[in-house]
A and B are shown apart, each in its own frame.
Chain A
Amino acid sequence: MAHILKNYDEELSALKDSVVEMGTMSLTAVEKAIKGLADGNRDLCYDVIDEDEKIDQREKDVDEQGMSILMRFNPVASDLRNVLSSINICRSLERIGDHAVNIAKRARKVLKAGDLDEVRLIDPLYLEARKIVSAALTAYSDVDEEMALAVIKMDHKIDELHKALGKSLSHKIAEGNGNTESLLNVIFISRSIERIGDLAVNIAEDIVFMTSAEDIRHQ
């Protein structure tokens, strides 16, 4: 059922559009950073670093939209949870953007140091992270609690892949095979991707709170 005040519905809808758009921007930044690393394209890495400002600005815009709704319409019940969750989600998306910048900066260093075969080991981890962030954004857009709960389960695979990759690269470093600095940078990239998975879980938890009023954080 629509609200009596038409512009209340319009502003809630605009808030949602902004968050979804911000999600796309953050996910694109991660994709670009990884592509830059995989293709040896440092320009893509520089783009990610430069474009982070846009994600930061979008975070401020979402905050402003949320605050305006709180101030003007005094939302309650599911509307209130919607606004609070949207603001929280945009916080997670901004941090995903920051991790994309971290990946881009590390990738730049790896590329500068020359070819590194181990770069391709990032792929399976990245593909899982991409899947989980996309699923979290779809769950938000479709208000799909079931999908949000599935996102939380998906994170285990990312954790396992990250752990395995870290172990493998640590061995290489210990054995003195390859460029230690570059291998360390790949470990840091893996760490950023793992954190992106955690942030997707945070988004999913916010969606569950939005849909069912249940706070499942820290369980």
Chain B
Amino acid sequence: MNDSSVTLDSADAPVVAANEPIISIDDLSFSYDLGKTNTLRNISLDIPAGKVTAFIGPSGCGKSTLLRCLNRMNDLVDTAKVTTGKINILGQDINAPDVEAIELRKHIGMVFQKYNPFPKSIYENVAYGLRVQGINNKSVLDQAVEESLQKSALWSEVKDRLNTSALGLSGGQQQRLCIARTIAVKPQIVLMDEPCSALDPIATARIEELIAELQQDFTIVIVTHNMQQATRVSDRTAFFYLGELIEYDETTNIFGNPKIKQTEDYVSGRFG
């Protein structure tokens, strides 16, 4: 990163009050084929800090694409392009030429649909991000690993086997480990792309409980196909259809009294 680049370091980042937008998306259109067709069209929405925001909609509606725009995961696709609009995170245009994706992702962690621990020990999985940042002091790492595992509600289950392989954990535990790995580097935002779709109901309930806990320290954006999950975990919900944002409101309104008929039809199971 050169000297003129924007670091978005926690110390430098502006403090955002609860309920204030930490992510501001303005007229965003996005294409996977260099602008020939837009997968996302003219999306505008503000995501408040310290809240859980859910993206819902049928397959292909663009909700995961938008999530991946938030930490520039789509940069990995050669033909991907933001065609109009911008995304401001903590007041910074994340697609500005001086913002580096890797630096950005230190502040915006991501949890994926399929849990993906590294073939390393439980301890090393959690410490990985910190080691990449050059932190090798054992007591700092020990403290960060314990704190992250505590926050991801896994500590009591793994504290006596931190040096065993992460791959020996159950699916639900592996997903919580991935969350611990994500939060170990203290991001301000955690993106979750269908984090429970590969888990059984008990493991799902534990992750949902964890989301409620994490909300105190992080802003969470979650993509889910499970609408009951959206009603349980999120404060606000955005409904997408065919690349457009149809409705965005308090979750209780989206599932209790949506203003747009398309939203009502989708959430009540009339199309999907």
Contacts and interface: CB of A to CB of B under 8 A. Distances in A.
A75 B258 CA distance: 13
Contacts of B231: 76
B137 interface: no
Task: Specify which of A5, A8, A74, A81 lies most central, judged by the most chain B CB atoms within 10 Å of its CB.
Answer: A74
A80 B264 CA distance: 11
Contacts, number: 39
B228 A74 contact: yes
B269 A73 contact: yes
A117 B269 CA distance: 59
Given A77-B255, A77-B264, A1 B228 contact: no
Contact of B270 (A1, A74, A81): A1
Interface in A1-45: 1-5, 8
Contact of A213 (B227, B256, B270, B271): B256
Interface residues of A, number: 16
A78 B264 contact: yes
Interface in A70-101: 73-81
Interface in B221-272: 227-228, 231, 255-258, 264-265, 267-272
A5 B269 contact: yes
B269 A8 contact: yes
Nearest to A79: B268
B271 A80 contact: no
Contacts of A73: 269
Given A1-B271, A3-B270, A74-B228, A80 B265 contact: no
Nearest to B258: A77
B269 A77 contact: no
Interface of B: 227-228, 231, 255-258, 264-265, 267-272
Given A73-B269, A76-B256, 20 more contacts: A1-B270, A1-B271, A2-B270, A3-B269, A4-B269, A4-B271, A5-B269, A8-B269, A76-B255, A76-B267, A76-B268, A77-B255, A77-B257, A77-B258, A78-B264, A78-B268, A81-B256, A81-B257, A213-B256, A213-B257
21 contacts: A1-B265, A3-B270, A4-B270, A5-B269, A8-B269, A73-B269, A74-B228, A75-B268, A76-B227, A76-B256, A76-B267, A77-B255, A77-B258, A77-B264, A77-B267, A77-B268, A78-B268, A79-B268, A80-B255, A81-B257, A213-B256
